[in-house]
Amino acid sequence: MLNTDHLSPDTEALAAELEQQEEYRVLRRVPKPFTSLPGMGPAPDGKCIAILDTETTGLDSENDVIIELAIQLVFVDDDGEVIGHAMPHSWLEDPERELDPRITMVTGLGAQHLQGHKIDDGFARGLLDRADLIVAHNASFDAGFIERRYSELAGKAWACSCSEIDWLKLGFEGRSQSALLAQVGWFSDAHRAAADVWALHWLLQHRQRGPGESKSRTYLARLIGASEQPTVMVQAECAPFSKKDLLRARGYRWNAHKKFWQIELPLERVEHEQAWGYRHSLPAMTTREITAHERHR
């Protein structure tokens, strides 16, 4: 159950009245971060989830660097239900290089905010090492920066709340974090790492019953369940250049490191995909199993 104690009863009465009008949609501000642990004691037993976000100097994890990092630990039971959570921890870091003005426009962070700041690597690494699963809304982006900085964390399990939840099937339009949050009735201050982490935590606590399901589940439980399912990477390793548009239209993505097209699919679709490749005169597809420990890399 989401804690809505921060909302004014008087204002809520007005909002409830406004919500009865078809011409209006009411959005509520996500509350300020708070800790909720059983008895306000130590962290409970259960699976530990680290929700993470980074702000960086650019999009290239090989050459750009992190300028803000936020991590929040969440504890769940065997059904993926939250049994406790901490507040996000966040740090700024001076990149010691000129900052692209577009990064400042997006994040609000300028050189004057970052000068002299440093991420507490020992603390941050310890939080991530404790986690059984790291969650981000664009995991392939964040994982690249995190594993470059903390190479000893390579192989940790990651899950992507953007791509691993079937938002369309659940009735959502779009997959951006702000759009998803608005569709469940909330808004937050975006594009700062700690605010984005807390907003993602808040979003993932919402629940619904999907098509054909007998009971509702939180989006976090759905994400954990999806991350635990092995998938298969179908690889068009020897596909000729002339097939690139066909593969792109099919949903394949170019693997820049290994120089071939690939698509990640559930096991039950692999045989069908290989047959599709044969019908379109592609060389035999190769496959490899993917788990949360390889996914999003």
Reply yes or no on whether the pLDDT at 1 is more than 70. no
pLDDT in tens, 108-141: 999 999 999 999 999 999 999 999 999 999 999 9
Strand locations in 32-185, DSSP E? 47-56, 66-76, 82-85, 89-92, 133-136, 158-160
Average pLDDT, the chain: 94
| This prediction's pTM | 0.90
Residues 35, 205, 180: CA angle, nearest 5 degrees? 120
Query: CATH 3.30.420.10: does it fit domain 9-227?
Result: yes
Q: How many CB atoms lie within 10 A of CB 17?
A: 11
3-state helix, strand, coil in the chain (%, to 5): 35, 20, 45
Q: What whole-number distance in Å separates Cα of residue 190 and Cα of residue 184?
A: 16
pLDDT in tens, 145-193: 999 999 999 999 999 999 999 999 999 999 999 999 999 999 998 779 9
Cα torsion 150, 154, 157, 161 to 10°: value is 60
pLDDT in tens, 201-221: 999 999 999 998 999 999 999
pLDDT in tens, 251-278: 999 998 899 999 999 999 999 999 999 9
Domain ranges (residues) in the chain: 9-227, 231-290
Encoded amino acid at 98, one letter: E
- In this prediction, residue 113 carries a pLDDT of 95
Percent of the chain whose pLDDT exceeds 70: 99
Give the CA distances from residue 283 to residues 59, 160, 243, 274, 288, in Å, rounded to whole numbers and listed in that order: 33, 31, 11, 10, 16
